[in-house]
Structure 1
Amino acid sequence: MPIITTNSGSDILGRYYTKNEISSFLVEQFDITSPVRLLDLGAGSGSLSCAAKTRWPDIKILTVDIDPKVDLPTIPTKQIYDELSHEHFVVDALCENLSTVLNCTNAPIDIAVCNPPFITPKWRNEFSSILEDAGFLDCLPFPADVDAGLLFLAQNLRLMSENATLGIILPDSLITASKYKKFRATLLNTYAITKIIQLPRGSFHHTDALASIVILQKTKNHQDAVRVYCLNRNKSLSKPILVDISSAAERLDYSFHFHRLHTIDVTSRRKITLHELAAEIKRGSLSSAQVKNSDFPVLHITNINEGDIGQWLDFSSFETEMPDDYSNIVKAQPGDILISRVGRNLESKIVGVMAGTFAVSDCVYVIRCSPSTRNTVLAQLASREGRAWMSAHAYGVAAKQLAKKELITFPVFLDERKDV
């Protein structure tokens, strides 16, 4: 039975193909001398297994892909995909009986590589068994709405032999989203995570999807901390940040922990969170569809220019009479601060309202502070440090999102002589 997506991807199966240099980089992260049998679930074009065969010429490779039209490459000098060293299975990678199909009992798998599709598949009952066998079923708030990356992770762990090693590319949602915090805690406390490497945007063909490489062992070894890295755009690997397990469960991305580690606490000024300081922090109430069909002006993120960041602007052109049935919608007014909630450059769309009272879309946050602090708040949100904070606390595979529960923790430093 094919995987049916509930959101769009690069193709109908939600595949983003790994660039060759990223595939080679992932394979280089294994601390294994001579593995025997490698599994590549959702192999696609075979970039990962091809890189593995280049490093370990004698390895036996099993590739699985549901698409009968997939073209696996060949390297003439190595004859990677001959009958003796490679078996390809045209089958759903998430079928419950895949262990029997692959004969995992008699021929154990000691290494696996995987780049799962970035989708949310239509739920099937057999997914429960896959998640439960890997220990993840009870740590998901909505099991029927689970990312394919988590399912592929669980399936790999079911199929691998004890002490085997997996290198998998996971979407940013599993690495950073709050709804997967319990999953991350379970992962960190159940398996041995060797390293996590945040990849730069552009690591996949035809997309800027954000993801991380996770290298882990199927072993019960206890660990108190995990090493988190970042692969820079020049393809150099950063020095590791050692993150304790509790903090790693909160988020596993390098940028978040790097920012937290290198933030200078200005002790000479009083620090207060935006939640404690602001009278109101609201998300707009009109969806993109409602904005498109509205017969009155609504401010959307496309109306906030990056070049105006940190400025107080006149939005009088958006002010108009609205029908009575829209009396409860969220509106901005003079003195408010507007922040983009979503978008690849959301941290660059921060402005103040100098004039105008108007409706805003649900892609915009409206922050209302006291007159004595609003200038300070806008300046610090729009500062280089403020934008870095928002970028580090945002999450998302493609377009980033900034959750309200993150925004309310934004630290504002007050000069006690001027701000009250």
Structure 2
Amino acid sequence: MITTNSGSDILGRYYTRSDISSFLVEQFDIISPVRLLDLGAGSGSLSGAAKTRWPDLKILTVDIDPKVDVPSVSTRKKSNDSSHEHFVIDALCENLSAVLDCTNAPIDVAVCNPPFITPKWRNEFRAILEDAGFLDCLPFPADVDAGLLFLAQNLRLMSENATLGIILPDSLITASKYRKFRATLLNAYVITKVIQLPRGSFHHTDALASIVILQKTKKHQDTIPIYCLTREKTLSAPILVDLLSASERLDYSFHFHRLHTSNATRSKTSMLYELAVEIKRGSITSSQIKTAGFPVLHITNMMEKDIGQWLDFSSFDAKLPDDGATIIKAQPGDILISRVGRNLDSKIVGVMRGTFAVSDCVYVIRCAPNIRESVLAQMASKEGRAWLSAHAYGVAAKQLAKKELITFPILLNQYKDV
């Protein structure tokens, strides 16, 4: 079974807009590459942009779909154009190097927009990950993102000192479970730049992703330049991030927020977990809500217009079943925040009245009476929402991990004593 994201086709492909394809190709410093590889080529947007920049380039395109329409390429294994060879084959097969004859005809540049899926595990994936040096840095190798597999496959096929431009989903860029992978990547290869793309960079989806340009070389680097491409298609100035911080996260928005939070401000703050604040995730799943038999507050009951307000939720009061002792409940004085959703930073409210069950898409924050109003106000403020957005992650709907939420900074001088 293949898990796909909404908005993609059956193979989990998000097709790159032509302007993004041209932009990616422009990021290469190579003057005259000889042979280019495009794994999972799809409609050929990336390799087509490369051919426009380097007309004499020899191109190899690979796609498992026999119906794929790569410009100037027939559905046969090889086209009549000697400068362009197309292979209808699984891009993640272990013997692809032999099929492409990479030994006798080295690949010195590659472009790739992998499908945003988690493919069913195959034993040959182990060899692909191991050859690229990633096998031992993954928490669950059998549940690995296709983007990481395509990255590893490209690195196996490229010659030494070759350059790859790849679009990686936000999960590989920001998720804590891939932190060790990012550390390995940064230490084994040279990352010349990371560019966070705006939502809407792919057809029919708002999937969040970044361009990563890297070289298959062992040269040492102290910092990674991280950029942001705006919706107006202008490139930001780079933020130079040290390797340790880059392994934590590689997204521009996170490091921009951290950079613009002054040391003076940080010295006056405490993190939520330092204030004896209790944070719990609701215990009832979305599917269980339908058969619960009692009211359950879900993120759909939290309106953006109510952000930062103390609300009356007494309509959700109800007698819980006898076995309901383990159900996570909110009570007056608690703060509720959405755990998931593209606009999770807009769903932050306080409970004025009501004791009720909450879904597992909601965090319940319980703090001392003398700071609860300040905590709510700071989380719902422009700065607080920016912090939450910068610390969330996800390709489509964003997620806020509890390990991130507990580090939310609270300004000590804004406590309200009662």
Mapped partners of 1:374, 1:68: distance in 2: 59
1:221-260 equivalences in 2 (<5 Å):
221-260=219-258
1:45-56 equivalences in 2 (<5 Å):
45-56=43-54
Mapped partners of 1:223, 1:82: distance in 2: 43
| 1:367 aligned counterpart, secondary structure | strand
Measured after TM superposition, the shift of residue 265 of structure 1 is 4.6
Counterpart selection for 2:114 from 98, 113, 116: 116
Indicate the larger mover: 270-279 or 64-73. Answer: 270-279
1:58 partnered with 2:56: yes
Mapped partners of 2:3, 2:415: distance in 1: 54
Partner of 1:140: 138
Counterpart selection for 1:73 from 71, 75, 100: 71
Q: What amino acid sits opposite 1:24 in the alignment?
A: S
| 1:339 aligned counterpart, secondary structure | strand
| 2:262 aligned counterpart, secondary structure | coil
Q: What amino acid sits opposite 1:6 in the alignment?
A: T
1:29-108 equivalences in 2 (<5 Å):
29-74=27-72, 83-108=81-106
Mapped partners of 1:359, 1:6: distance in 2: 31
Q: What amino acid sits opposite 2:2 in the alignment?
A: T
Contact conserved, 2:97 with 2:157, CA < 8 A, in 1? yes
Instruction: Please report the RMSD computed on the Cα atoms of aligned residues, expressed in angstroms.
Output: 1.5
Contact conserved, 1:40 with 1:62, CA < 8 A, in 2? yes
Partner of 2:274: 276
Measured after TM superposition, the shift of residue 340 of structure 1 is 0.2
Measured after TM superposition, the shift of residue 85 of structure 1 is 1.1
Partner of 1:156: 154
Mapped partners of 1:213, 1:322: distance in 2: 49
Partner of 2:23: 25
Contact conserved, 1:199 with 1:212, CA < 8 A, in 2? yes
1:6 partnered with 2:3: yes
Counterpart selection for 2:367 from 369, 387, 392: 369
Measured after TM superposition, the shift of residue 269 of structure 1 is 8.1
Mapped partners of 2:175, 2:368: distance in 1: 31
Question: Could you give the per-residue CA deviations for residues 63-112 of structure 1, whole angstroms, max 9, x where no partner exists?
Answer: 0000000111259xxxxx75111110000000000000001011000000
Q: What amino acid sits opposite 1:221 in the alignment?
A: K
Mapped partners of 1:285, 1:100: distance in 2: 51
Structure 1: 5+ residue stretches without partners: 76-80
Mapped partners of 2:135, 2:335: distance in 1: 41
| 2:41 aligned counterpart, secondary structure | coil
Mapped partners of 1:204, 1:16: distance in 2: 6
Counterpart selection for 1:170 from 168, 171, 179: 168
Contact conserved, 1:376 with 1:414, CA < 8 A, in 2? no
1:391-410 equivalences in 2 (<5 Å):
391-410=389-408
Aligned length: 412
Partner of 1:322: 320
Contact conserved, 1:42 with 1:114, CA < 8 A, in 2? yes
Partner of 2:213: 215
Q: What is the TM-score with the length of structure 1 in the denominator?
A: 0.96
Contact conserved, 2:108 with 2:163, CA < 8 A, in 1? yes
Mapped partners of 2:326, 2:19: distance in 1: 52
Mapped partners of 1:373, 1:223: distance in 2: 44
Mapped partners of 1:104, 1:226: distance in 2: 29
Mapped partners of 1:92, 1:64: distance in 2: 8
Measured after TM superposition, the shift of residue 147 of structure 1 is 0.3
Structure 2: 5+ residue stretches without partners: 74-78
Change (3 A) 1:284 1:115: same
Partner of 2:358: 360
Partner of 2:308: 310
Contact conserved, 2:374 with 2:416, CA < 8 A, in 1? no
Measured after TM superposition, the shift of residue 11 of structure 1 is 1.6
Counterpart selection for 1:350 from 348, 351, 358: 348
Change (3 A) 1:264 1:82: farther
Change (3 A) 1:59 1:268: closer
Partner of 1:78: none
Contact conserved, 1:278 with 1:367, CA < 8 A, in 2? no
